[in-house]
Amino acid sequence: MLSQVVELIENKQNFGITTHVRPDGDGVGSSLGLCWLLRSLGKHAEVITCDEIPVAYRSLPGADEIRKVAEIDREYDAVFVIECSDVDRPHIGNLEKEFTVNIDHHSTSEHFGSINWIDSTASAVGEMIYNLCKAIGGRITKEIAECIYLAIVTDTGSFHFPNTSERTLKVASELVKAGVKPAEISEAVYNSYPWSRIELMRQVLDTVKRDEGGTIAWMRQTLEMRLTAKAVDGDNNGFVNIPLAAKEILAVIYMREVGENEYRVSLRSKGDINVAKVAEKFGGGGHKNAAGCRVVGDWNEKEGEILTELKKAVEKTQEEYTKKIEDLEIIVA
Ligand code: 5GP
Ligand code: MN
């Protein structure tokens, strides 16, 4: 919990920080935000990852210092593991031998850390780093503010998603006070892609289909598409959300081929439809409205299985909703 994290930071000097493979905005922003916080407290800290940092987040202060490593190659008093369901998610060798601090806002976390601080009410880990800074009596410097603002903006879909709370907006407001220019961050994150993103988007959207009820959309991305579009990592950020722009679409499946018979799956939903539960059935996890998993096997077969589970989740929510309305009508009558 938070008090243990504060105590550890106060008593130790030398920290590593890492996040999951294919780091997203929250992973990168929160890691760097924490790194700047630790440094502002006179500590040694560095961020290590197994993957390159996506172009969209490279303008963050400190992003150019992030070290790409395959395994732990230095001595740390503790390693912070940001946004990871388990100790293997960062794909960094020997991490399990370290004193780890698991900081996450997913309720599905496996509590693998030597210390675990999980807050599923936080919109992003970035919001938790803000709380940590306050708890430890630190000052929100411009560097910290820029990093955790990016974390919050990306994890809330620019304050569109239901995880956006009054507290999220208050924190965002404090970050702007500390020197963040929201338009500059949005420009760097959303309008700085190479043209290959548009090429890839065109091809992926060409595969989009809907079920007969018109509430579920699914689409695919092949390795071939990545090649022909000359895509780079991160070019497909947010593709999964595009079909949600249609009012009648309640849930989306986006499957991308990542190897032979191997696929990464992203699931998104609106309202009470719980896609984390669907992802868990396939060994993954996530949040109610945004989840994912990795599947291996025949593409059509796997897509069919996921679609079946998702249909059940949509129908269950719709039945519950109808029942609620009927109960209300009884009360009103
Ligand atoms: P995305 O679709 O953006 O890759 O992931 C959406 C959410 O699902 C994220 O919050 C992420 O942590 C979670 N997620 C995606 N893939 C996996 C997975 O393989 N395992 C677990 N536990 N969570 C995942
Ligand atoms: Mn997050």
Count: domains in the chain = 2
Q: Are residues 233 and 184 in the same domain?
A: no
- CB under 5 Å of ion ligand 2: residues: 26, 124, 155
pLDDT value of position 255: 98
Q: Are residues 298 and 156 in the same domain?
A: no
Of 158, 190, 222, which residue is a domain's last? Answer: 190
Q: Are residues 169 and 275 in the same domain?
A: no
Q: Which residues contact 213 (CB under 8 A, 6 or more apart)?
A: none
Q: Which CATH number do you get for residue 247?
A: 3.10.310.30
Q: Which of 156, 265, 293, 294 to mutate to test the pocket of ligand 1 (most atoms within 8 A of CB)?
A: 293
pLDDT value of position 328: 72
Q: Rounded to whole angstroms, how far apart are CA atoms 289 and 240?
A: 12
Residue minimizing CA distance to atom 16 of ligand 1: 292
Phi-psi group of 182: left, alpha or beta (phi > 0 → left; psi -120 to 50 → alpha; rest → beta):
alpha
Of 190, 221, 249, which residue is a domain's last? Answer: 190
Q: What's the CA-to-centroid distance between 130 and ligand 2, angstroms?
A: 14
Residue ranges around ligand 1 (CB below 6 Å) = 85, 106, 108, 240, 266, 284-287, 290-294
Q: Are residues 201 and 220 in the same domain?
A: yes
Q: Which residues contact 194 (CB under 8 A, 6 or more apart)?
A: 55, 232, 235
Residue minimizing CA distance to atom 6 of ligand 1: 291
For residue 155, tell me if it sits in a domain.
yes
What number of residues does the chain have?
333
pLDDT value of position 332: 65
Of 148, 169, 190, which residue is a domain's last? Answer: 190
Q: Are residues 202 and 318 in the same domain?
A: yes
Pull the structure tokens for residue 25: 């905005």
Q: Which of 20, 21, 22, 24 to mutate to test the pocket of ligand 1 (most atoms within 8 A of CB)?
A: 24
Over the Cα atoms of the chain, what is R_g? Answer: 21
For residue 230, tell me if it sits in a domain.
yes
For residue 333, tell me if it sits in a domain.
no
pLDDT value of position 86: 93
pTM of the model: 0.85
Q: Are residues 96 and 137 in the same domain?
A: yes
pLDDT value of position 323: 78
Q: Are residues 114 and 181 in the same domain?
A: yes
For residue 329, tell me if it sits in a domain.
no
pLDDT value of position 326: 77
Q: What's the CA-to-centroid distance between 87 and ligand 1, angstroms?
A: 15
For residue 332, tell me if it sits in a domain.
no
Q: Are residues 207 and 173 in the same domain?
A: no
Q: What's the CA-to-centroid distance between 83 and ligand 1, angstroms?
A: 10
Q: Are residues 70 and 213 in the same domain?
A: no
- For residue 240, which atom of ligand 1 is closest to its CA? 2
Run means of pLDDT, 10 residues per run, the chain, 333 residues? 97 98 95 98 97 91 97 97 95 96 90 96 97 97 98 94 93 98 95 95 98 96 98 91 96 97 97 96 92 97 98 90 75 65
Q: Are residues 185 and 231 in the same domain?
A: no
For residue 317, tell me if it sits in a domain.
yes
Kindly identify the ligand whose nearest atom is closest to the C-alpha of 129.
2
Q: Rounded to whole angstroms, how far apart are CA atoms 150 and 78?
A: 25
Q: Are strands 251-259 and 216-221 parallel, antiparallel or unpaired?
A: parallel
Q: Rounded to whole angstroms, how far apart are CA atoms 29 and 161?
A: 18
Q: Are residues 161 and 223 in the same domain?
A: no
For residue 331, tell me if it sits in a domain.
no
Q: What's the CA-to-centroid distance between 123 and ligand 1, angstroms?
A: 15
pLDDT value of position 233: 83
Domain that holds residue 69: 2-190
For residue 330, tell me if it sits in a domain.
no
pLDDT value of position 39: 98
Q: Which CATH number do you get for residue 174?
A: 3.90.1640.10
Kindly identify the ligand whose nearest atom is closest to the C-alpha of 279.
1
Q: Are residues 173 and 58 in the same domain?
A: yes
Pull the structure tokens for residue 51: 């993957």
